[in-house]
Amino acid sequence: MKVAVVGAGVTGAYLANRIPPEHEVELFEMKAEKNWYTVCAWGTSQPFIRKLVKMAGFEFDDYVLHTGKKMVVDLGDMQLEVPLKGLVTYDKHRLTHDMIKERKVHWGAQVKDPGSEFDGFDVVVDATGLHRSLLPKIEGDLVVPSLEYQVKSSELPYDDFVIRPYPNLTGYWWFFPLGDGMAHVGGGDIHGRYRGEMDEFVKKYHCEVLRRIGRPVRVIPPQYCQPFSKGKAVGVGESIGTVYPMLGEGIVPSMQCANLFVEHLGDPEGYRQAVLEHYKMYSKVYRFVKSKIDGDFSLLRMWPSLLSIYWYMHSNTERYGLETRLWDFYRIATRL
Ligand SMILES: Cc1cc2nc3c(=O)[nH]c(=O)nc-3n(C[C@H](O)[C@H](O)[C@H](O)COP(=O)(O)OP(=O)(O)OC[C@H]3O[C@@H](n4cnc5c(N)ncnc54)[C@H](O)[C@@H]3O)c2cc1C
């Protein structure tokens, strides 16, 4: 098979290394090579992602920047300390770059439609993330705007992960350490309440700003992102909603989605079913988050869902790299 992968983000880069060698793969990336960058806070769970990265032939541990011990969740009138079990930041840009540097990449190639230039390809993967350039628009799409600064300072106020959720769980502010006096400070919020907060931080802690980045994150899950394919185009990663809605976490789920694609290469219906099954819990989490955003959350009505989300997070400590305790979860879910 000849596979075109459109988008050289984490999904496209990982996929290019997971498609078995008997197939031919070419990447198409809209950015020029010198402007290409992986917008993200670079947080993930080391014990979990290590195995996925190994499957692509790379050593995740070589890219780790900071290993977390605890994450402070600032609820305004109280602070929770969540024990961390593998949450790290890693140099996502360097790893993604290493994944594509030996591959054939067409830089500066903005693909709008898999037209005649793709005649020689059997499949054209839409790994364009938020853009979803090759698939129909999603009705009722939910995307959360975000802004992030990469900063450096000798006066950083924290030495570990900190998040501050905005009221009604419409997003959160974050501080993710990168080691060596550097950090990602950012915010994602439906109402854009992070505006001004990064500049204040920079001023207060005398930071050098190394990079200002941001883009909206799609938090609507795969169930609502159908169709996953159109003609020979097939969506993989954030283009079909593989982001955990409560956390905006999309690195691991994008890789998992790439693996599902590889397992069902040439079988779009099998792939569709596998994606729907794999991300079933994301729909439940999404409905909970949406009810908070829309202001129609009812503890009584949502209690069974909340319990099952708690249980899912609690039983997936390695997957998320943090320990989910019932009281912490209850407080975050109900106080905000
Ligand atoms: C500010 C921010 C912080 C985040 N922090 C975290 C985090 O700490 N941990 C975590 O797990 N997740 C995080 N996420 C989510 C995660 O980064 C994304 O879900 C993940 O990167 C999605 O990968 P992707 O490859 O599908 O899409 P992307 O990473 O968006 O890559 C898409 C690529 O396609 C290219 N492209 C787009 N359109 C076209 C086109 N028409 N033709 C050719 N190329 C095209 C783009 O230039 C880009 O290179 C964060 C997201 C944001 C925005």
Atom 1 of ligand 1, residue of closest alpha carbon: 40
Quote the pLDDT of residue 116: 85
What is the domain-level CATH number for residue 13? 3.50.50.60
- Six-digit token pair at 333? 């879910």
Supply the pLDDT for residue 114.
82
Q: Candidates 142, 217, 257, 275: which one to mutate for ligand 1, based on the most atoms within 8 Å of Cβ?
A: 217
Please give the residue range of the domain that contains residue 217.
Answer: 2-335
Reduce the DSSP state of residue 82 to 3 states and report it.
strand
Report the pLDDT value the prediction gives residue 300, as an integer from 0 to 100. 87
The response to whether residue 100 sits with its C-beta less than 6 Å from ligand 1 reads: no
Q: What token pair was written down for 281? A: 């819990």
170 lines ligand 1 (CB under 6 A): no
The answer to whether residues 237 and 130 touch, using CB atoms and an 8 Å cutoff, is no
CB 71 within 8 A of CB 324: no
Output the pLDDT for position 275. 98
- Residue 6, ligand 1, Cβ within 6 A: yes
CB atoms within 10 A of CB 177: 22
Determine which helix (DSSP H) or strand (DSSP E) holds 277, and give its type and residue range.
helix 268-278
Q: pLDDT truncated to tens, each residue of the chain (336 aa)?
A: 999 999 999 999 999 999 999 999 999 999 999 999 999 999 999 999 999 999 999 999 999 999 999 999 999 989 999 999 999 999 999 999 999 999 999 999 999 988 888 999 999 999 999 999 999 999 999 999 999 999 999 999 999 999 999 988 899 999 999 999 999 999 999 999 999 999 999 999 999 999 999 999 999 999 999 999 999 999 999 999 999 999 999 999 999 999 999 999 999 999 999 999 999 999 999 999 999 999 888 888 888 999 999 999 999 999 999 999 999 988 888 876
Query: Which pTM value belongs to this model?
Result: 0.97
- Work out how many domains the chain is built from and give that number: 1
Strand partners, 171: 189
Q: Check residue 336 and give its pLDDT.
A: 67
Q: What is the pLDDT of residue 64?
A: 98
What's the one-letter identity of residue 234?
V
| pLDDT reported for residue 224 | 98
Whether 126 lines ligand 1, by a CB cut-off of 6 Å, is no
* DSSP category for residue 98: H
How far is Cα 224 from Cα 217, in angstroms, rounded to an integer? 15
pLDDT for res 330:
87
